[in-house]
Structure 1
Amino acid sequence: MTEIIFLVETDDDGGYVAQALGESIITQADDLETLKKEVKDAVHCHFPDETLRPKIIRLHIVKDEVFAS
């Protein structure tokens, strides 16, 4: 695997939640900079063998907007 993708959504309590697509990895943080560090740490823990670890981490940030018609 050369790349892993995380779906990032805002948390109801504030901050962000990131969940990997196709892997059992989920983490959260109060801001995006901290979330990036948490995601990287989670990937390193999930793939302790460096040869199997994805080289690229992609964050797909989803933002819902609601407005009146």
Structure 2
Amino acid sequence: MKNTSTEIVFLVEEDPEGGYTAKALSESIFTQANDIPSLKEMLRDAVRCHFPDEAERPKAIRLHIVRDEVIAS
């Protein structure tokens, strides 16, 4: 089955225990890392493993980074 999407989207969140987690919205792919640069490399590897056939692999990885912030009122 050929992948018709040119990109894959990951939801990236700060892990309460430190670092970051990333979960694909359309596939069963999950990874984590201590920092964003490491997470990006882990995501590239995870996508390559999940889509071994380069013709079916998404051409772009989009990160939707969610950060919780608290501000004083």
**Structure 2 alignment gaps of length 5 or more:** none
Aligned to 2:67: 63
- Superposition map of 1:16-55 within 5 A: 16-55=20-59
**1:66 Cα shift?**
1.6
Q: Residue 13 of structure 1: CA displacement?
A: 0.6
Superposition CA RMSD, Å: 0.7
Matched residues in 2 for 1:22 and 1:34: separation?
Answer: 22
Q: 1:4-40 deviations in whole A, cap 9, x for unaligned? A: 0000000011100000011100000000000000000
What SS class does the counterpart of residue 5 from structure 1 fall into? strand
User: Alignment length, in residue pairs?
Assistant: 69
**Separation in structure 1 between the aligned mates of residue 22 and residue 56 of structure 2, nearest angstrom:** 21
% identical equivalent positions = 67
